[in-house]
């Protein structure tokens, strides 16, 4: 079973911000779907039920009706910034022998277009919000998970809404266009050679 979680905020019901006019500062209204507030269900979903370790009381854990887990923790240093992490519990150990490298390849493809964000636009959208690729926007694949990382330079409504929207696109809307697959194949093989 694949588990996904988002640190900082949940995003499964965020509508698309206006990508046609990225300078708009009107807040995006999110559809309201109540998160699960059953503490036993939350503890089970986050695997801390029955643990001898106590969950950090500063973290608000929750589960959306679709099963997406979220964790939110206030941190005022540095002020007026936020970090978002989309973590998917799939990495190289979930791959069969004929699938080796697939999780890493999918991680790369997330930046090559989604259903609602054309190829080449995701990085541009993030850069318009003040994020630098590599420094503030990145991803990784490990043995047991794939992570997408966004460090937001501010917490204004447009930045947060757009970041949540792009993470939502990454979670299930990667397009896998044949031309993009072929281009990314070269990038992955180049990484393999340099390692």
Q: Which residues are catalytic?
A: 107
Mapped onto helix, strand or coil, the DSSP state of residue 14 is: coil
User: How far apart are alpha carbons 77 and 69 in whole angstroms?
Assistant: 24
User: How far apart are alpha carbons 64 and 186 in whole angstroms?
Assistant: 38
Can you give the three-state secondary structure of 42-68, one letter per residue?
HHHHCCCCCCCCCCCCCEEEEECCCCC
User: How far apart are alpha carbons 1 and 114 in whole angstroms?
Assistant: 23
Query: Containing H/E element for 151?
Result: strand 146-152
């Amino acid at each position: 079973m694949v588990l996904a979680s988002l640190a900082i905020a949940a995003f499964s019901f965020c509508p698309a911000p206006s990508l046609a006019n990225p300078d708009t500062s009107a807040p995006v209204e999110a559809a309201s779907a109540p998160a699960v507030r059953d503490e036993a269900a939350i503890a089970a979903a986050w695997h801390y039920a029955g643990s001898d370790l106590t969950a950090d009381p500063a973290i608000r854990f929750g589960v959306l009706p679709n099963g997406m887990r979220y964790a939110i923790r206030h941190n005022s240093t540095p002020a007026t910034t936020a970090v978002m992490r989309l973590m998917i519990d799939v990495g190289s150990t979930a791959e069969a022998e004929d699938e080796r490298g697939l999780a890493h390849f999918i991680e790369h493809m997330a930046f090559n277009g989604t259903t609602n964000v054309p190829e080449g636009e995701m990085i541009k959208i993030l850069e318009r919000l003040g994020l630098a690729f590599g420094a503030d926007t990145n991803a990784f694949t490990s043995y047991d998970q794939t992570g997408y990382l966004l460090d937001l330079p501010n917490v204004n409504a447009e930045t947060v809404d757009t970041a949540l929207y792009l993470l939502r696109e990454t979670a299930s809307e990667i397009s896998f266009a044949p031309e993009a697959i072929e281009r990314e194949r070269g990038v992955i093989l180049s990484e393999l050679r340099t390692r």
